[in-house]
Structure 1
Amino acid sequence: MDYKEINPQIEYYINRRSTPNWIIEDATTHFIDLSYFSSGKALYKVNGEYYEVNQGDLICIPQGSRRSATTDANNPMESFAINFQLYDIKGNDVELPFPLISHIGFSEELLSLYNELTLVWLKKSPGFEIKARALLLMILHHYFKRFYYKINVRNIDSRIQKSIRYILSNLHKPIEVEELATIAGVTTAYFGTLFKKYTGSSVKDYMNKMKISNAENILISGEFSVKDAAYKCGFEDIYYFSKLFKKIKGYPPSKILLDKKMTELAVPAPNSTNESSRSL
């Protein structure tokens, strides 16, 4: 199925810090139990099978499962546990395509999302349900990348994350590698090696792809010319911009504006049919 329009509804969320005698009583779940373990050990029993979970593990227990659990008294577990319903756009139940248990490891991005969800859930400001649902979708997207889209998920170095945020905030101007290395606090040579390790791309190629994707998005709006889009993405030479755009996207930037114009011409003006009928 297409998971792009899933709609999660959170019933309960907790950053669980278990005591040595913590247990989950044996019962059938009427929700999906998605729990990420940040430390300690626990033993889960799901549908008659036992599963040991450790730090960095994720357990995804489908709705309608028989579940119970205990923790290791000498090493009590800590986890982020979300109990929720999952529907498609038509309101039908959806099952997650995740294994029952898997090892995720440490992820700064994931912990940041869970910590923000904890704050939102406990603070319960007006409309918190919307933000909590959005954060859960971001968490699910992290897992979808790994289990469904089969993307090689790396725990990106915080220095590289910082430089990427800077790139995305400054797509409108030229950026030098030396500038990014300074932000990351490393030498230029080491920064290039580190960046490629975590992104699989050179700094220059990464920046060009982001800038061209940004230009594509600008052109799709129909509000700017090719020249405007080039300048807005830090390119002074429009011919180089057009050549690079075609190399990365496979078509020239002018095609976007042409296609948009053709689409607009093909759409009848409002009330044109009625006016034609009246004239007859």
Structure 2
Amino acid sequence: MTEQEFNSIVVDIDYYNHRICTPSWIIEERVNRFVDLTYVVAGKAEYTIDGVCHTVRAGDLICVQKGCRESAVAVPDDLMDCYSINAYIYDLAGREMKLPFRTVSHIGVRQDIIALYQELNAAWLVRDPGYMAKARAIFMLILQRYYQLICHSGYQRSYDKRIKKVLQHVIDHYFEPLTVAEMAQMVNLSPLYFGNFFKQETGQTFRQYLTLIRLNQAESMLNSGMYKVKEVAVECGFSDIYYFSKVFKEHFGVNPSEVLKSPKPHGISS
């Protein structure tokens, strides 16, 4: 699945449950009419999916696609605690899609994901007006986190607090002439140490990250059809329109003017 395809996902939740298994818990063999997504936070269980047996444990994500044959039983001396969602997955045109996850993926017990499930659990049980829309939104956040962990395993989101401060500052002030020296001073580090530390944490130099944020904002502005190329360059912190056009094409594969001429959002991605 491409990044663009994943970004087109639409979800419809059929069933949700925070399941704490009993010794007699069982899923009778069935052919799923939905995608069954289960995140194990403690204990074990024995799943059989399309004839293949899996012993799942804490930190495992089980993804049983629609049409697969599934059954499961508890492990009585180590009962499973899990979050389970049965859902339908579509693209923007309403066509059914498969999630890009293996049957069993070990992602670890992650507090950020558990916090999202707890929020989903509250929405599902309290049922305030509009709760289904909220539940779908939270499920989308959960899927996005799974996508990062499974399909982009090198991606890091938990940065040092000093780097987090700089990243947020860049997002808020990308249009300003930001420098390594200024960012280093902001977090009380030497420019040389900061530069190495930033790359170690993010995998990019500070200049690369700043340029990425500026280019993504530029793409959004061009897609709106409300700005000229020169206006976009200036608003996004590029003082040289020719340099802007060069790096934009290197990153997106098209010239800024081509995005302007497109009758609808270009849908380009890095």
Q: Distance in 2 between matches of 1:153 and 1:179?
A: 28
- Aligned match of 1:42 in 30, 40, 45? 45
| TM-score of the aligned structures, taking structure 2 as reference length | 0.73
1:234-249 equivalence runs, <5 A: 234-235=237-238, 238-239=239-240, 242-249=242-249
1:95-115 CA-partner distances (Å, limit 9, x unpaired): 334221111235565445434
Q: Are positions 1:54 and 2:51 aligned together?
A: no
Structure 1 residue 119, shift from structure 2 partner: 3.6
1:12-67 CA-partner distances (Å, limit 9, x unpaired): 22333x25636234242433210122333333233444311122211112334231
What is the identity, as a one-letter code, of the residue corresponding to 1:215? A
Q: Are positions 1:250 and 2:265 aligned together?
A: no
- Aligned match of 1:232 in 235, 251, 256? 235
Q: Distance in 1 between matches of 2:166 and 2:76?
A: 40
User: Given the superposition, is the C-alpha separation of residues 81 and 195 from structure 1 closer, same or farther in structure 2, using an over 3 Å criterion?
Assistant: farther
**Stretch deviating more after TM superposition (64-73 or 177-186):** 177-186
The match for 2:136 is 133
- Aligned match of 1:69 in 67, 70, 73? 73
| 1:154 and 1:198 in contact (8 A); partners too | no
Structure 1 residue 258, shift from structure 2 partner: 7.2
1:17-28 equivalence runs, <5 A: 18=20, 21=23, 23-28=25-30
Q: Distance in 2 between matches of 1:54 and 1:27?
A: 20
The match for 2:126 is 123
User: Given the superposition, is the C-alpha separation of residues 245 and 146 from structure 1 closer, same or farther in structure 2, using an over 3 Å criterion?
Assistant: farther
What is the identity, as a one-letter code, of the residue corresponding to 1:250? E
Q: For residue 250 of structure 1, give the secondary structure of its aligned residue in structure 2.
A: helix
User: Given the superposition, is the C-alpha separation of residues 167 and 108 from structure 1 closer, same or farther in structure 2, using an over 3 Å criterion?
Assistant: farther
The match for 2:268 is none
RMSD: 3.6
Gaps of at least 5 residues in structure 1 are 265-280
Q: Distance in 2 between matches of 1:245 and 1:86?
A: 38
Structure 1 residue 246, shift from structure 2 partner: 1.2
Q: Distance in 2 between matches of 1:244 and 1:163?
A: 23
Q: Distance in 1 between matches of 2:190 and 2:76?
A: 45
1:1-280 equivalence runs, <5 A: 2=5, 5-16=8-19, 18=20, 21=23, 23-28=25-30, 29-64=32-67, 65-71=69-75, 73-74=77-78, 76-89=79-92, 91-107=94-110, 110-145=113-148, 150-158=151-159, 159=161, 160-161=163-164, 163-177=166-180, 180=183, 191-235=194-238, 238-239=239-240, 242-250=242-250, 256-257=256-257, 260=260
User: Given the superposition, is the C-alpha separation of residues 204 and 49 from structure 1 closer, same or farther in structure 2, using an over 3 Å criterion?
Assistant: same
Q: For residue 120 of structure 1, give the secondary structure of its aligned residue in structure 2.
A: helix
User: Given the superposition, is the C-alpha separation of residues 165 and 63 from structure 1 closer, same or farther in structure 2, using an over 3 Å criterion?
Assistant: same
Taking only the aligned residue pairs, the percentage that are identical comes to: 31
User: Given the superposition, is the C-alpha separation of residues 259 and 107 from structure 1 closer, same or farther in structure 2, using an over 3 Å criterion?
Assistant: same
Q: Distance in 2 between matches of 1:141 and 1:248?
A: 26
Q: For residue 102 of structure 1, give the secondary structure of its aligned residue in structure 2.
A: strand
